[in-house]
Amino acid sequence: MNFSTKLLHWYKYNHRDLPWRNTQNPYLIWISEIILQQTRVNQGYQYYLRFIEKFPDVQTLAKAEEEDVLKLWQGLGYYSRARNIYYAAQQIISDFNGVFPSDYHDIIKLKGIGNYSASAIASFAFKQCYPVIDGNVLRVISRIYGISTPIDIDKGKKEVLSILKTLIDEQNPDIFNQAIMELGAMVCLPQNPKCETCPLNALCFATSNKIMHDFPVKTKKINQRSRFFYYLVIRLTYNNTEFVYLNKRTNNDIWKNMYDFPLIESEKEMDVAEDISFEIEKILKSNNYNLKKVSRMYRHQLTHQAISAYFFDIKITTPLAETTNFIMVPSSEINIYPIPKLVDNYLKDNCV
Ligand code: SF4
């Protein structure tokens, strides 16, 4: 049996039954593929079900409020995915008469869709012969073929793509793509590949030379940026209701269009007694305030950023000047707003 026959045979008897695999609806496939980027299947599964329940088709999604989409995405991270899905839904309505495009070259024009997602949608929904390349596929092919070119540069990716073009089953490009991704997710694992049960072990350069851990070859080291966030949880009791100030993040930065608290940010750790007090006074201006508590440090790791955050619980007795960019919301209603996981973690520990 050749590569493709072995792979498809293995997939037939070993694949996981996931809801987005039982459909050829491009909208559902699209949503599942975007959710599953940078998200494990176990975590993405519930998000997918909730998303398609609330937005069952592109029309419903296009008519929604962006904040509702972000709220549903809350906790998944990489929020630009949610914003792009929302914008792409508008594109499908305006540029494609509300019908999901069926050609790879049209699909890739949609916001947030790159080669990987376009190939996945074109092959899964429309049986077009485009190989998918994700981290799992890169690992499988680089091990089987012993590719020494780093797979995190274009040259390495092109090498993998040209191999896949010779392997893909032209009658079943959808199943071939699903199968090779599934093999990477279930068998050819990054740390402990299960070579003894792998259907492709007889063809594999890495396992025959016992150098599985030498592949895939990579060049880039991820540069980590440290950020220190000092959040002001400013509370005000007004007409017997407690309010808190939220800040809508409109800058081109992480968590765009989501809500957090008024923020003092630094690239270095600041001195609470001196630097932070000074910054708090700049934000609160002439308001009298009472600093009730400073939280423990909350750490939040993103791909390229390590965030250390503290939350300052502050009471004020008169509203902030209307010139500030913050909105005053009842404490009991914070959860209506899309908020980053870091802030949600603090709220879960502290009954705001
Ligand atoms: S034999 Fe091992 S290293 Fe090679 S593809 Fe299979 S699981 Fe991966």
CA–CA gap between residue 279 and residue 277 (Å, rounded) = 5
Per-residue model confidence (pLDDT) at position 40: 87
pLDDT at 352 over 70: no
Backbone angles phi, psi at 277, to 5 degrees: -60, -40
CA–CA gap between residue 157 and residue 148 (Å, rounded) = 12
Enter the DSSP assignment of 252: S
Question: Once rounded to an integer, what is the mean pLDDT over residues 219-224?
Answer: 78
The pTM of this model reads 0.79
pLDDT at 142 over 90: yes
Per-residue model confidence (pLDDT) at position 105: 97
Q: Is 160 in the pocket of ligand 1 (CB under 6 A)?
A: no
Average pLDDT, the chain: 93
Q: Read off the pLDDT of residues 85-111 as tens digits, 9 standing for 90 and up.
A: 999 999 999 999 999 999 999 999 999
Superfamily of domain covering 225-349: Nucleoside Triphosphate Pyrophosphohydrolase (3.90.79.10)
CA–CA gap between residue 69 and residue 161 (Å, rounded) = 34
Q: Read off the pLDDT of residues 222-278 as tens digits, 9 standing for 90 and up.
A: 778 999 999 999 999 988 999 999 999 998 899 999 999 999 998 888 877 677 888
Worst-scoring range by mean pLDDT, 73-77, 109-113, 123-127, 336-340? 73-77
Per-residue model confidence (pLDDT) at position 5: 96
Q: Read off the pLDDT of residues 203-214 as tens digits, 9 standing for 90 and up.
A: 999 999 999 999
Cis status of the peptide bond prior to 216, with omega within 30 of 0: yes
Report, as residue numbers or ranges, the catalytic residues. Answer: 33
The protein residue with its alpha carbon nearest to ligand 1, atom 4, reads: 204
Residues 19, 116, 13, CA angle at the centre, nearest 5°? 40
- Alpha-carbon torsion, ordered 94, 98, 100, 104, to 10 deg: -30
- 219-224's contacts with Cβ under 8 Å and 24+ in sequence apart are 219/150, 219/152, 219/153, 220/150, 220/152, 220/153, 222/303, 222/304, 223/304, 224/304, 224/305, 224/306
Backbone angles phi, psi at 290, to 5 degrees: -125, 110
CA–CA gap between residue 27 and residue 31 (Å, rounded) = 6
Return the domain boundaries, the chain.
Answer: 3-214, 225-349
| 187 CA from centroid of ligand 1 (Å) | 7
The model's confidence at residue 14, banded by pLDDT at 50, 70 and 90, is very high
- What CATH fold (topology level) applies to the domain 3-214? Endonuclease III; domain 1 (1.10.340)
Per-residue model confidence (pLDDT) at position 4: 95
| 303 CA from centroid of ligand 1 (Å) | 27
